[in-house]
Chains A and B, each alone.
Chain A
Amino acid sequence: MSRLPTEDLIARIAASAEPVQRLRPPLPRTLLWFALSLPWVAAVVLIMGVRPDIGERLHDTRWLIEQGAILMTAAMSAMAAFCAGIPGRPRSELLIPLVPLVVWMALLGEGCVRSWLSVGGLTLQADWMCLPAIAMIGFGPAAVAAAMIVRGAPLAPVATTALGALAAGGFAAFGLRLFHLQDASLMVLVWQAGTVFGLVLLAGLGGPFLLRWKRPDQAPR
């Protein structure tokens, strides 16, 4: 009436011990994710057309720091997502992307305050194109991240998929600003960062459905 005796289970598991390809450490995996995602992001940016004032922007320190923070948020999120799939690693690694994320948010917040002080108010307009644009640019990095994340252990499904979405969304937000002429901090905060966080939320909710331990019936025969 009881389940399979443990000794029998061990014999079955051991009998199916085929050689496995070890997962590479998170840093090389992050570099691989970046290398595989970059062509997609670059292709979309080129198809949409690089913004005409890109030369000017490349001399704008603030814009460069913002872009650097967004890119670092994406890369650190990917690395944290890969760390999350390895048992025994410290949970604090999941917080790695917080540093560049805080820098990005602080710059946007400071930009909002500065605009408010100089103009005496803030205007928020509709910029719906950010949603499909970020989804489109982020599709490539998201697909690569998903394929890599599922190879890890489903220890923290919500955090892992949310971090994967932050990686893809961050990379997409970085790419968007290379062709989209929108630099007003409030607009970037609401429409671009808002879209990224919306995707992070959705991905986090879907995490437990995407990342699961194998069921007992998937045990080796």
Chain B
Amino acid sequence: MGDDKFDIELRALMRAAQGGDGAAYADLLRRSLPFVARVVRAQRAYGVEIDDIVQDVLLSLHAVRHTYDPDRPFSPWLAAIARNRVIDAQRKRGRIARNEESVAELPETFLPDHPNTRAPDEAEALRHAVADLPPGQRQAVEMLKLRELSLKEAAAASGMSIAALKVAVHRGVKALRLRLSSSDEINGGVP
């Protein structure tokens, strides 16, 4: 009975959202979150972030919201999208896993002075240097250099334009280079 009430309410909200009512749409999406998360978990989405899939489901719902018929129940419509996105995410994860190779020990060269791996303190220094960047530059460096998102993806996630991202990442990298090279000189480290 509770499920019926939930469905009837969401059905009405979706009808309003299809008519362009932004407030009803936001309400619908918020109230759908626990249901979507439940469906995603029920699909045993191992190896993928639940939150990532939930967001994918919201975007997918938005992309195909015109396919919903308000005369039909809302929950099966939403659940079908969620299940489909979980399967897609698992396939993607599988493709990535097939191209990855696990090694017990990372191959390293141990030359006396210049090993090809970064020392822990250098990684720490890099983390600090990134954290000290101005917010715009930090976000651009994190998205484009550390998470390796495409410019389009980073623009979508940050709300910044592609041109602004390019400028911010250029300035950020320049600032990092300056800061790290000066700390290397101070420490007498590897050039």
* Interface of B toward A, CB cutoff 8 Å: 17-23, 25-26, 29-30, 33, 51-52, 54-56, 58-60, 62-70, 72-73, 76-81, 84-85, 88, 142, 146-147, 150, 152-153, 155-159
A18 interfacial by beta-carbon distance below 8 Å: yes
* Interface of A toward B, CB cutoff 8 Å: 1, 3-4, 6, 9-11, 13-23, 25, 85-89, 151-153, 155, 213-221
Instruction: Tell me if B72 and A3 are in contact (CB < 8 A).
Output: no
Instruction: Tell me if A3 and B156 are in contact (CB < 8 A).
Output: no
Interface of A is mostly: loop
Q: Which residues of A contact B55 (CB under 8 A)?
A: 3-4, 6, 9
CB distance from B66 to the nearest CB of A (A): 4
Instruction: Tell me if A221 and B159 are in contact (CB < 8 A).
Output: yes
Instruction: Tell me if A216 and B30 are in contact (CB < 8 A).
Output: no
Known A4-B157, A87-B81, A88-B72: A13·B66 in contact at CB below 8 Å: no
Known A1-B147, A6-B54, A152-B67: A216·B25 in contact at CB below 8 Å: no
Distance A14 CA – B59 CA, assembled complex (angstroms): 11
A-B CB contact pairs (8 Å), 9 listed = A6-B51, A6-B55, A9-B55, A14-B25, A14-B26, A15-B22, A22-B70, A153-B84, A214-B63
Known A155-B80, A155-B84, A217-B152: A22·B58 in contact at CB below 8 Å: no
Instruction: Tell me if B23 and A153 are in contact (CB < 8 A).
Output: no
Distance A151 CA – B66 CA, assembled complex (angstroms): 9
Instruction: Tell me if A86 and B67 are in contact (CB < 8 A).
Output: yes
Interface of B is mostly: helix
Instruction: Tell me if A23 and B67 are in contact (CB < 8 A).
Output: yes
Q: Which residues of A contact B147 (CB under 8 A)?
A: 1
Known A13-B62, A217-B150: A87·B67 in contact at CB below 8 Å: yes
CB distance from B28 to the nearest CB of A (A): 9
Instruction: Tell me if A6 and B59 are in contact (CB < 8 A).
Output: no
Q: Which residues of A contact B18 (CB under 8 A)?
A: 19-20, 22
Instruction: Tell me if A87 and B78 are in contact (CB < 8 A).
Output: yes
Known A88-B77, A213-B63: A1·B142 in contact at CB below 8 Å: yes
Q: Which residues of B contact A89 (CB under 8 A)?
A: 80
CB distance from A88 to the nearest CB of B (A): 4
Q: From B67, B88, B146, B155, give the contact of A153 (CB < 8 A).
A: B67
Q: Which residues of B contact A153 (CB under 8 A)?
A: 60, 63-64, 67, 81, 84
Q: Which residues of B contact A21 (CB under 8 A)?
A: 66
Q: Which residues of A contact B66 (CB under 8 A)?
A: 20-23, 151
Q: From B29, B62, B64, B155, give the contact of A87 (CB < 8 A).
A: B64
Distance A61 CA – B22 CA, assembled complex (angstroms): 58
Instruction: Tell me if A25 and B69 are in contact (CB < 8 A).
Output: yes
Instruction: Tell me if B29 and A13 are in contact (CB < 8 A).
Output: yes
Distance A153 CA – B81 CA, assembled complex (angstroms): 9
